[in-house]
């Protein structure tokens, strides 16, 4: 099927260029020879959106493209909006046809903006910069013409054109990136709901086009990033300002009264849509904002922080829960779960020990240093349970119990909301909306398996639904592999799958005598199974355990380091062979500095540990890069 215009994303350049890469993130890429032609195609609805390079990390504003956009906006009926900002990593290589060595390079071909990003290379090689249409074109051009010519382009473009890479990562500043703007026709963005066929890339940047001195100083005062353009004698200053979210209202007020002859045009969401809802009826759950972080003592989740809640399905006795609290803390869990009110399919099954058991759970959590999570089933339970529980759980069966949601949302405790086994992602998020609307600010969502035709497992862990939820909500997202599996042997695999899908945390049931558990014994992991799993995820064991327990975690880390070290040495051998084949020097001091910087970043500053580790690896790699017979 050929895509209709709406699915096409235009860019200036040709396949293999960075513009093509940005466009591929917005739709089906279509190349245009010039920025003007790309914008014309957009305005004529030949394409659904266009990408335009706006700012490069090294070179700053990209005048060639911004000027075209500014001129288009200066037309009386300007109808372009900025929908999103897309940051594309720019790894530039110097490449040439086979046979040309670095010392022989006399001309370097690339796009003007790209040549400005590698001034150090140009100075070092003393070569003449030659401005070309785009980076991929430069690669094909030097391949065709031969001679002492090299191109600066992406690695893919170099390989595509059949060039040999003479030097990698030649930008003056690494890592280098270019921010592209995704442009659409203005009237289409009046609706704040993003087009579903386009991958959401985060909030659209607030961008203002301005002319005149007053407007630019007002924007600078509001803290905007100014991308100035040379302007014209009539408009001595003009440009774009990227306004940070927190200054939108201020910038709008300051630029609301431009002086005579000045112009200010908001591109993209107008200031009144400061936080556009991503789903119309659930604005609080789906609002565009930084990921929410829920923190209760040692339990911190969201925005990159990940944790595990573990414990028995039901609190059975003071001794049972105290033992399991110690066990899960030792394993590395940072919150303790346990049901005191149990929703059971049969009214004759064990229903939980009620509020008395909440005291046992609380004591066990306190002794192990863990906050506690427990389920509430009725609005009347919320008050008494919230007195002692750190987190209120709303179970799958009550996901759409709106009275319960409202009551739990009014309590000051964070709420852990499981997805119902028959609710859609949108219904589940709508339930979270009840909590937020009632005043709760700390909500965690948990996928625990939905009901499908499949009977082999208790539920079907809906990872696709989890990922859809991830794209819609700022709330932390958990998975519960225990209730999804219903069988102990499947729990680690599902836990790994969810962890790999990027959940903010897991809820896992654990029991040390599962055969005599009062509920859900068949799906409970043994404490030692939990330890093994959490070591694999890199969660740190609690300090209340034994030396042996912590040593087991260290052994897992050492195993990983040893495997990666072997892999690194093998890669060094291979890169050594490629360098020799293309007559590149083995040593590359800039690259060594990058390796050191990476270790310094991970280990916190320029510590002796970071330097020693990086130096050791670099020495070993240099050794490995030598030919076998050396």
The contact set with ligand PEP (CB under 6 A) reads 313, 339, 343, 395-397, 418, 448, 480, 483
Which one, 313 or 621, has the nearer CB to Mn ion? 313
Mind spelling out the 3-state secondary structure of 73-107?
HCCCCCCEEEEEEEEEECCEEEEECCCCCHHHCCE
Q: Which of 104, 92, 271 is nearest to 170 (CA)?
A: 92
Q: What residues contact 233, with CB distance under 8 A and at least 6 apart?
A: none
C-alpha to C-alpha distance for 18 and 22, rounded to whole angstroms? 6
- Alpha-carbon dihedral angle through residues 96, 102, 108, 112, given to the nearest 10 degrees: 100
Judge contact between 122 and 171, C-beta under 8 A. Answer: no
Shortest CB 312 distance to Mn ion, Å: 8
Q: Which does 395 bind (CB under 5 to 8 A by kind): ligand PEP, Mn ion, none?
A: ligand PEP
Convert residues 517-536 into a mask of x (bound to Mn ion by CB under 5 A) and - (unbound): ---x----------------
Please state the closest distance from residue 321 (CB atom) to Mn ion, in A: 14
Q: Which residue lies nearer to ligand PEP by CB, 374 or 442?
A: 374
Find the residue with minimal CB distance to Mn ion: 313
Q: With respect to Mn ion, which residue has the nearer C-beta, 258 or 343?
A: 343
Give the dihedral sign, CA 479/481/482/485: positive
Q: Are 135 and 18 in contact (CB under 8 A)?
A: yes
Q: Give least dist CB 523 to ligand PEP, A.
A: 10
Residue with tokens 């989740």: 301
| CA–CA distance, 3 with 314 (Å, rounded to integer) | 54
* DSSP-derived secondary structure letter, 510: B
- Residue 506 beta carbon to ligand PEP: minimum distance, rounded to whole angstroms: 12
The CB-nearest residue to ligand PEP is: 395
Percent helix, percent strand, percent coil in the chain, to nearest 5: 45, 20, 35
Q: Annotate each residue in 492-521 with x if it binds Mn ion (CB under 5 A) or - if it does not, as one string.
A: ----------------------------x-
| Residue count of the chain | 630
Q: Which residue's CB is nearer to ligand PEP, number 343 or number 522?
A: 343
Smaller CB distance to ligand PEP: residue 16 or 339?
Answer: 339
Residues 314 and 278: beta-carbon distance below 8 Å? no
Total residues at interface with Mn ion (CB under 5 A) = 2
Give the nearest distance from C-beta 480 to ligand PEP in angstroms: 6
Rounded CA separation 439/445 (Å): 16
Select the binding partner of residue 343 from ligand PEP, Mn ion, none (C-beta < 5 to 8 A, by kind). Answer: ligand PEP
Q: Among residue numbers 255 through 274, which ones bind Mn ion (CB under 5 A)?
A: none
- Report the residue number, 85 or 375, with the smaller CB distance to ligand PEP: 375
Nearer to ligand PEP by C-beta: 250 or 483?
483
Strand pairing report for 149-154 and 107-110: parallel
Q: Which is nearer to ligand PEP, 113 or 417 (CB)?
A: 417
CB of 397 to ligand PEP, least distance (A): 6
* Minimum CB–partner distance for residue 330 and ligand PEP (Å): 22
Q: Out of 96, 313, 364, 525, which residue is the one contacting Mn ion (CB under 5 A)?
A: 313
DSSP 384: H
Determine which helix (DSSP H) or strand (DSSP E) holds 239, and give its type and residue range. Answer: strand 238-243
CB closer to Mn ion, 447 vs 520: 520
Partner from Mn ion, ligand PEP, none binding residue 85, C-beta < 5-8 Å depending on class: none
Which tokens is 406 given? Answer: 């409202």
Q: Is the dihedral of CA 477, 483, 485, 487 positive or negative?
A: positive
- Going by C-alpha positions, the residue among 41, 75, 74, 49 that lies closest to residue 188 is 49
Closest contact distance (angstroms) between CB of 486 and Mn ion is 10
The neighbour count for residue 108, using CB atoms within 10 Å, is 24
Q: Taking CB under 5 A as the rule, does residue 485 contact Mn ion?
A: no
At residue 444, the 3 state secondary structure works out as strand
Nearer to ligand PEP, 25 or 511 (CB): 511
User: Near Mn ion by CB under 5 A, which window of 162-170, 312-320, 453-461, 510-518?
Assistant: 312-320
Among residues 177 and 393, whose Cβ is nearest to ligand PEP? 393
Give the rounded distance of the alpha carbon of 12 from its chain centre. 27
Token couple for 515: 């055969």
CB nearer to Mn ion: give 251 or 313.
313
DSSP string, 173-217: SSS-EEEEEEEEEGGGGSS-SPPTTS---SSPPEEEEEESHHHHH
Q: How many helices (H) and strands (E) does the chain have?
A: 22, 25
Give the span between the Cα atoms of 579 and 164, in whole angstroms: 10
Torsion of CA 222, 228, 231, 233, to 10 degrees: 60
Q: How far is the CB of 374 from ligand PEP (least distance, A)?
A: 9
Binding-site partner at residue 448 among Mn ion, ligand PEP, none, CB < 5 to 8 Å by type: ligand PEP
Q: Residue 97 or 395: which CB sits closer to ligand PEP?
A: 395
Which residues, in sequence order, are CB contacts of 511 under 8 Å at separation 6+? 312, 313, 324, 517, 521, 524, 525, 526
The C-alpha angle with vertex 451 and arms to 293 and 373, in degrees rounded to 5, equals: 35
Judged by CB, which is closer to ligand PEP: 111, or 351?
351
The binder of 418, among ligand PEP, Mn ion, none, by C-beta within 5 to 8 A per type, is ligand PEP
Q: Which residues, 6 or more positions from 286, have their beta carbon under 8 angstroms from its beta carbon?
A: 277, 278, 279, 429, 472, 473, 474
CB of 293 to ligand PEP, least distance (A): 23
Instruction: State the Cα–Cα distance between residues 459 and 448, nearest whole angstrom.
Output: 8
Kindly list the residues in this chain that would bind Mn ion in the complex (CB under 5 A). 313, 520
């Amino acid at each position: 099927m050929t895509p209709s215009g709406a699915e096409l994303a235009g860019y200036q350049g040709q396949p293999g260029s960075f513009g093509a890469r940005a466009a591929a993130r917005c739709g089906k890429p279509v190349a245009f020879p010039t920025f003007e032609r790309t914008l014309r195609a957009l305005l004529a609805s030949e394409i659904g959106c266009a990408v335009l390079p706006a700012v490069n990390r090294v070179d700053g504003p990209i005048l060639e493209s911004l000027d075209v956009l500014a001129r288009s906006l200066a037309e009386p009926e300007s109808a372009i909006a900025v929908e999103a900002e897309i940051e594309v990593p720019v790894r530039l290589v110097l490449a040439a046809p086979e046979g040309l060595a670095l010392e022989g390079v006399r001309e370097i071909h690339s796009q003007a903006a790209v040549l400005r990003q590698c001034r150090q290379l140009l100075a070092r090689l003393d070569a003449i910069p030659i401005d070309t249409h785009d980076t991929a074109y430069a690669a094909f051009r030097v391949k065709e013409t031969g001679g002492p010519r090299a191109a600066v382009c992406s690695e893919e473009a170099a390989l595509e054109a059949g060039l040999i890479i003479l030097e990698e990562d030649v930008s003056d500043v690494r890592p280098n990136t270019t921010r592209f703007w995704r442009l659409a026709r203005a009237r289409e963005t009046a609706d704040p709901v993003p087009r579903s066929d386009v991958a959401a890339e985060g909030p659209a940047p607030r961008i203002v086009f301005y002319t005149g001195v007053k407007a630019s100083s007002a924007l600078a005062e509001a803290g905007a990033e100014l991308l100035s353009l040379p302007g014209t004698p009539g408009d001595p200053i003009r440009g774009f300002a990227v306004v940070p979210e927190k200054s939108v209202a201020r910038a709008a007020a300051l630029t609301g009264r431009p002086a005579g002859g000045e112009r200010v045009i908001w591109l993209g969401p107008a200031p009144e849509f400061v936080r556009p809802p991503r789903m119309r009826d659930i604005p609080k759950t789906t609002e565009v904002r930084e990921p929410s972080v829920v923190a209760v003592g040692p339990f911190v989740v969201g925005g990159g922080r990940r944790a595990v809640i573990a414990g028995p399905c039901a609190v059975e006795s003071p001794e049972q829960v105290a033992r399991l609290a110690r066990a899960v803390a030792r394993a590395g869990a940072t919150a303790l779960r346990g049901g005191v009110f149990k929703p059971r399919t049969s009214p004759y099954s064990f229903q939980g020990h009620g509020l008395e058991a909440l005291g046992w759970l609380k004591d066990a959590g306190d002794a192990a240093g863990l906050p506690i999570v427990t389920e509430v089933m009725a609005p009347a339970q919320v008050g008494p349970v919230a007195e002692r529980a750190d987190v209120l759980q709303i179970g799958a069966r009550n996901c759409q119990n709106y009275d319960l949601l409202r009551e739990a949302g009014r309590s000051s405790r964070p709420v852990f909301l499981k997805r119902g086994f028959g609710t859609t992602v949108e219904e589940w998020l709508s339930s979270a909306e009840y909590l937020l609307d009632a005043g709760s600010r700390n909500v965690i969502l948990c996928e625990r398996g939905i009901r499908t035709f499949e009977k082999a497992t208790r539920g079907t862990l809906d990872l696709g639904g989890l990922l859809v939820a991830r794209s819609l909500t700022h709330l932390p997202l958990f998975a519960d592999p225990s209730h999804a599996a219903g069988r102990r042997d499947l729990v680690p695999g599902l836990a790994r799958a969810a962890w790999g899908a990027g959940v903010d945390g897991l809820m896992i049931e654990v029991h040390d005598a599962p055969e005599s558990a009062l509920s859900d014994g068949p799906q409970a992991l043994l404490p030692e199974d939990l330890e093994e799993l959490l070591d694999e995820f890199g969660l740190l064991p609690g300090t209340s355990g034994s030396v042996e327990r912590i040593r087991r975690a260290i052994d897992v880390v050492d195993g990983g380091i040893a495997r990666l070290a072997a892999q690194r040495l093998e890669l060094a051998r291979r890169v050594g062979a490629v360098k020799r084949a293309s007559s590149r020097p083995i040593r590359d001091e800039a690259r060594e500095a990058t390796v050191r910087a990476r270790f310094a970043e991970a280990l916190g500053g320029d510590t002796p540990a970071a330097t020693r580790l990086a130096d050791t690896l670099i020495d070993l790699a240099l050794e490995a890069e030598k030919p076998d017979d050396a």
